[in-house]
Amino acid sequence: MIFMADNDFQKAVELINKSGNVLLTTHIKPDGDACGCVVAISETLIALGKNVKTLLLSELPQWYEFLFEQKPEVVSEKTSIDCDLIIIVDTNTYNQLPKFDEYLKRSDKPILVIDHHVTTNGLGNVELIDTSAAATALIVFDLLKYTGWPITTKISTALFVAIATDTGWFRFSNTDSRTLKTCAELIDAGVNPTEIYHDLYQNFSHQRFKLMTAMLNTLELHLDGRYATQHLSQQDFKRAGAEYSDTENLINECQRIGSVEVVALFVELADGRIKCSLRSSGAADVRKIAAKFGGGGHTMAAAVYLNGPLEDAKQLIKTEVEKQFLN
Ligand SMILES: [Mn+2]
């Protein structure tokens, strides 16, 4: 656990104050924390009179569109990067920043990183890292409180979405008093949790729902029901008419089964690799499992890319889960 000093906030403020053109980005496959932080920071910087360019490294999932006034640019060959400060949120590793990592390595612009992950490449000249924070949005909130920069309804909504999604609507074990106290303050600043719940969780497209039912039909229980696996093939996506981004959070569905302690979702990618996402209720450290094959994440939630075919990938992970259960 790393505790930040006011000194770190001051250094971040100094970087922001002397910048005019800010490039803001986050990890590939942006989740709610990534999107919420990007919106909150961009709104704040615009209010401070800065030019802000938000650059995503893959498509914005449709269910976070309501946070954005206009769709942010997705990186391509045409992307021009002209800035005097780069801000990276919710990651601090090159492999989470494909198509941007090469630029970063060449760039001499100052970099501010705001993140809560343990895995780090130390990308920032100034870093606000707090691995005890349930979401990066909690650090962004602390920065806003430190500076006294206004927290508008739009900003508070973006931060609330970030925190709510990274805590699985306040049911994961990272939900602590700091999380709820911050959310209470965000509600006082204008957030409407009922509307947000609807926008986030009662807003599936028919295609996404079809993808979920396909996934549920692949459920297998292993190791006395303690380990559950599910998978999705390229065919499943085609049949449902769904996108990769439609998989977000679907992994959590089978944690409704009482005996299940560890869950894996294997998704076949277009290039034949398998993306394996892992969730744990605490019985196993899934970050260690992912790290063994070059992945990363948290104790309770991690991910790794594996070679196909699917059955090989499944066997690899099952062996590791079993080892952890035996310990
Ligand atoms: Mn996060």
From 134, 165, 200, give the residue that closes a domain.
200
**CB atoms < 10 A from the CB of 102, how many?**
11
Q: How far is the CA of 295 from the centre of ligand 1 (A)?
A: 16
- 196 and 213 belong to one structural domain: no
Cα(162) to centroid(ligand 1), Å: 8
Residue 215: burial class (beta carbons within 10 Å; 0-12, 13-18, 19+): buried
Per-residue pLDDT for 63 more than 50? yes
Residue percentage of the chain with pLDDT more than 90:
91
- Distance from the alpha carbon of residue 34 to the mean position of ligand 1, in angstroms: 6
CA of 133 to the centre of ligand 1 (A): 9
Identify residues whose C-beta is under 5 A from ligand 1, the ion: 33, 90, 136, 166
Residue 52 confidence (pLDDT) above 80: yes
Average pLDDT over residues 264-281: 96
* Separation of alpha carbons 62 and 74, rounded Å: 14
Q: Where in the sequence is the domain holding 313, given as residue range(s)?
A: 206-326
CB-CB contact of 83 with 219 (8 Å): no
pLDDT in tens, 129-154: 999 999 999 999 999 999 999 999 99
Peptide bond into 309 cis (omega under 30): yes
CA-CA distance, 277 to 295, in Å (whole number)? 10
Name 114's bridge partners.
89, 128
Per residue in 144-193, pLDDT (tens digit) is 999 999 999 999 999 999 999 999 999 988 999 999 999 999 999 999 99
Q: What is the 159 CA–ligand 1 centroid distance (Å)?
A: 11
Q: Indicate if 143 and 222 belong to the same structural domain.
A: no
Residue 65 has pLDDT above 80, yes or no: yes
The CA 166 to ligand 1 mean position distance, Å, reads: 6
Task: For residues 128 and 253, state if they share a domain.
Answer: no
Residue 223 CA, ligand 1 centroid: distance in Å: 30
Asked if 39 contacts 46 with a C-beta cutoff of 8 angstroms, the reply is no
Give distance in angstroms: CA of 206 to centre of ligand 1. Answer: 27
Secondary element (H or E) of residue 6: helix 6-17
From residue 310, give the alpha-carbon distance in Å to each of 144, 224, 265, 266, 307. 45, 22, 11, 7, 8
Q: Is the pLDDT of residue 302 over 70?
A: yes
User: Measured in angstroms, how far is the CA atom of residue 140 from the centroid of ligand 1?
Assistant: 11
On the CB side of 44, how many CA atoms lie within 13 Å of its CA? 25
Q: Are residues 58 and 183 in the same domain?
A: yes
Reported as a pLDDT band with limits 50, 70 and 90, residue 23 is very high
Assess if residue 18 is contained within a domain.
yes
* Shared domain check, 292 and 149: no
Q: Tell me, what CATH number does 268's domain have?
A: 3.10.310.30
Strand partners, 111: 86
Cα–ligand 1 centroid distance for 193 (angstroms): 19
- Ligand 1: centre distance to CA 130 (Å): 11
Co-location of 217 and 196 in the same domain: no
Measured in angstroms, how far is the CA atom of residue 136 from the centroid of ligand 1? 5
Q: Domain boundary residue among 200, 226, 244?
A: 200
Determine phi and psi for 302, rounding to 5 degrees.
-150, 170
Q: What is the pLDDT of residue 298?
A: 86
Residues near 146 by beta carbon (within 8 Å), at least 6 away in sequence: 6, 9, 13
- Would the pLDDT of 1 be above 50? no
CA 155 to chain CA mean position, Å: 18
Q: Are residues 286 and 214 in the same domain?
A: yes
Examine residue 1 and state whether it is found in any structural domain, yes or no: no
Domain holding 78: CATH number?
3.90.1640.10
18 & 83 share domain: yes
Query: Among 147, 170, 200, where does a domain finish?
Result: 200
How far is ligand 1, taken at its centre, from the CA of residue 235, in Å?
30
How far apart are the CA of 89 and the centre of ligand 1, in A?
9
What does the DSSP 8-state code read for residue 266? E
Can you tell me the mean pLDDT for 105-120?
A: 95
Residue 183 and residue 84 share a domain: yes
Q: Is 241 left (phi over 0), alpha (psi -120 to 50) or beta?
A: left
Q: Greater confidence, 203 or 224?
A: 224
Over 70: is that where the pLDDT of 2 sits? no
- Which residues are within 8 A (CB) of 169 and not within 5 positions of it... i.e. 6 or more apart? 197, 200, 201
CA–centroid distance, 37 to ligand 1, in Å, is: 9
State the pLDDT at residue 3: 52
pLDDT at 4: 67
118 plus 247 within the same structural domain:
no
Average pLDDT of the chain is 95
Residues 183 and 151 in one domain: yes
Is pLDDT larger for residue 67 or for residue 81?
A: 67
**Separation of 239 CA from ligand 1 center, angstroms?**
31
